[in-house]
Amino acid sequence: MVFDWFRRQFNQPQAPSTAASEAVTESSESTDDAARSTTEAVEEPQTAAIAEPPPAEPAPAIAEDYLAWAKAAYQNLKQQEAPAETSTTAEAIAATPALSDAQLAEEPAGAEAASSPEEISTETVAEPEPEPQPPAEPASFFDLAASEREARLEQLAAEAIVEPEPEPEPQPPAIAEPAEPQGLVFDDDFVWSSEVLAAQGRRPEEISIEEIDWLSSLRRGLDKTRRNLVNQLKAVVGQGPLSGEAVETIEALLLQADVGVEATDRILSQLQDKLRQEALPPEQAIAYLKSLLQQLLDQPLEESGRYILAPEKGRLNVWLVCGVNGVGKTTTIGKLAHLATKSGYRCLIAAADTFRAAAVEQVKVWGARSEVEVIANPGQNTDPAAVVFDAIAAAQARGTELLLVDTAGRLQNKKNLMDELAKVRRIIDRKAPDAIVESLLVLDATQGQNGLRQAQVFSEAAQLSGVALTKLDSTAKGGVALAIAQDLRLPIRFLGAGERIEDLRPFSSYEFIQALLDG
């Protein structure tokens, strides 16, 4: 069954006391009902009286609920892996060529020597007696001289001064390859990911290992920002109404996390109003802060009318991907193509970055990795609009559902290149008037506030409909997502949190905030 990442279930989080317990309870109830029906089918009813239900037990603690949910999910995923391993073994056995009757009848050479245990002789074989050795002759004068010479050489070698060997020159560190997924492991990341999914109303049997793997990568990518924020915020917001010093501390923390001035002012204002009304303990204050940040991220999504950017099945969708040089634009296209094919969409890539050296070859490599065909012009410095024109014709002829257009990287202050980007957009509107056209801006999370000005200019030329935030690893500051939502009013559509081809997924504000502030 294909797992459609574009339309993955994004539910509003339920109350912590009931989210995980309901899923685990219903799962156990279904098991009890099955066992009860089996028992009733075997045993004859002894009485018509209806037994009273046992008294309701108090609800377990939240941590126990989520832990039980995580264990149930882990067991379910392990059961999904077991049939796959069994089928692989069965296929290997089936692929082994069967021996014919003639081959089974043949006996290898020398088989008669060990045909059966009865034919093997049991007589004891007598061991030969050792032959007497002649008496040793006394050592000669030359042998004694040779032994004394060897002893003298060993003594000189022991007394000699040993020069230290030269130390090897330091070698440059090798470039680490992207880490491969290590399989299903019940660790802290698995429990945390399960808690996030359970809080959104998911059941243990509804999740996949891909979701667990993605949430674990996202949490690790925001680890640096989370460690710097959470502990200091708890120390400040848990002291009642915010003093002037506390406000300055929170303001500095948010600005250091690249949240931005406008978003920081809004967060501080709402947080102060809440803490004036009631004194909150640190955990509740952090929970309220999470809700503020999630509302800030969801506002552009509400204004756009779509919480998830997904291609429409059975119709041509054209996604124009743009950005400045070095933000990971071509890599993002390759990961989007992989995401689309794994989600069951027919995909095609247009290599319209005709200016950068080896850009077409790079996107072809990503196309091969994601098993998606690339439409490119064999010439150099060709017109990008012509490549897009040919790619749209190919997509229409092949029934493609998603066409990803790789545009040339450009600085936002180069007017001629920005005009060319607008020309590509006009070609798309003219050649495919019935297509659903989206423009995604790729932003590097490590650039922080420098990416905001880029987005402002690109939004005018390409009519942006969303942002793909990339390179959200241990070196980035996750607060830039809040600045994008507040200052630019642009919805974040995709999030990249690693170097693997699987490390780009549709954006979820709830999951992002939990990874950002859940210690």
Phi and psi angles of residue 442, each rounded to the nearest 5 degrees, phi first: -90, 125
Over residues 334-344, mean pLDDT: 93
Q: Which amino acid is at 415?
A: K
- Enter the pTM of the model: 0.71
Q: What is the dihedral of CA 443, 341, 420, 468, to 10 degrees?
A: -10
188 is in an annotated binding site: no
Least confident residue range of 22-26, 28-32, 209-213, 493-497: 28-32
409 is in an annotated binding site: yes
What pLDDT digit, counting tens, does each position of 223-238 carry? 877 887 877 887 787 6
pLDDT over threshold 80, residue 95: no
402 is in an annotated binding site: no
Range among 74-88, 200-214, 240-254, 335-349 rated most confident: 335-349
Token pair recorded at residue 229: 């924020």
What pLDDT does residue 446 have? 81
Report the mean per-residue pLDDT for the chain.
74
Q: Where are the beta strands (DSSP E) in 369-409?
A: 374-375, 402-406
Count other C-beta atoms under 10 Å from residue 410's C-beta.
23
Residue 41 C-beta-side C-alpha neighbours within 13 Å: 6
pLDDT over threshold 60, residue 350: yes
What pLDDT does residue 185 have? 84
Count other C-beta atoms under 10 Å from residue 57's C-beta.
6
Token pair recorded at residue 307: 């919480």
Beta bridge partners of 438: 319
What pLDDT digit, counting tens, does each position of 408-426 carry? 776 655 667 777 888 888 9
327 is in an annotated binding site: yes
Over residues 484-498, mean pLDDT: 89
Which stretch of DSSP H or E encloses residue 438? strand 436-444
Token pair recorded at residue 184: 């299903």
328 is in an annotated binding site: yes
| Contact partners, residue 266, CB within 8 Å, separation at least 6 | 296, 486
324 is in an annotated binding site: yes
**At 40, is the pLDDT very low, low, confident or very high (cuts 50, 70, 90)?**
very low
**At 129, is the pLDDT very low, low, confident or very high (cuts 50, 70, 90)?**
low
What pLDDT digit, counting tens, does each position of 317-337 carry? 999 998 888 888 899 999 999
What pLDDT does residue 153 have? 67
What pLDDT does residue 26 have? 54
DSSP type of residue 98: P
472 is in an annotated binding site: yes
What pLDDT does residue 183 have? 59
Report d(CA 408, CA 297) in Å as an integer. 29
What pLDDT does residue 338 have? 94
Report d(CA 32, CA 109) in Å as an integer. 62
What pLDDT does residue 297 have? 93
For residue 384, CA distances in Å to 166, 351, 432, 500 come to 57, 8, 16, 28
Residue 203 near residue 72, CB atoms below 8 Å: no
273 is in an annotated binding site: no
Report d(CA 11, CA 367) in Å as an integer. 33
Token pair recorded at residue 242: 């915010």
Q: Are strands 347-351 and 374-375 parallel, antiparallel or unpaired?
A: parallel
| Contact partners, residue 488, CB within 8 Å, separation at least 6 | 452, 455, 456, 459, 467
Report d(CA 296, CA 298) in Å as an integer. 6
pLDDT over threshold 50, residue 51: no
71 is in an annotated binding site: no
408 is in an annotated binding site: yes
298 is in an annotated binding site: no
Report d(CA 137, CA 61) in Å as an integer. 90
Give helix then strand counts, H and E, for the chain. Answer: 17, 8
What pLDDT does residue 31 have? 43
Pairwise pLDDT comparison (516 vs 378), residue with the higher score: 516
Report d(CA 516, CA 52) in Å as an integer. 48
pLDDT over threshold 90, residue 397: yes
pLDDT over threshold 70, residue 111: no
**At 9, is the pLDDT very low, low, confident or very high (cuts 50, 70, 90)?**
low
| Contact partners, residue 362, CB within 8 Å, separation at least 6 | 330
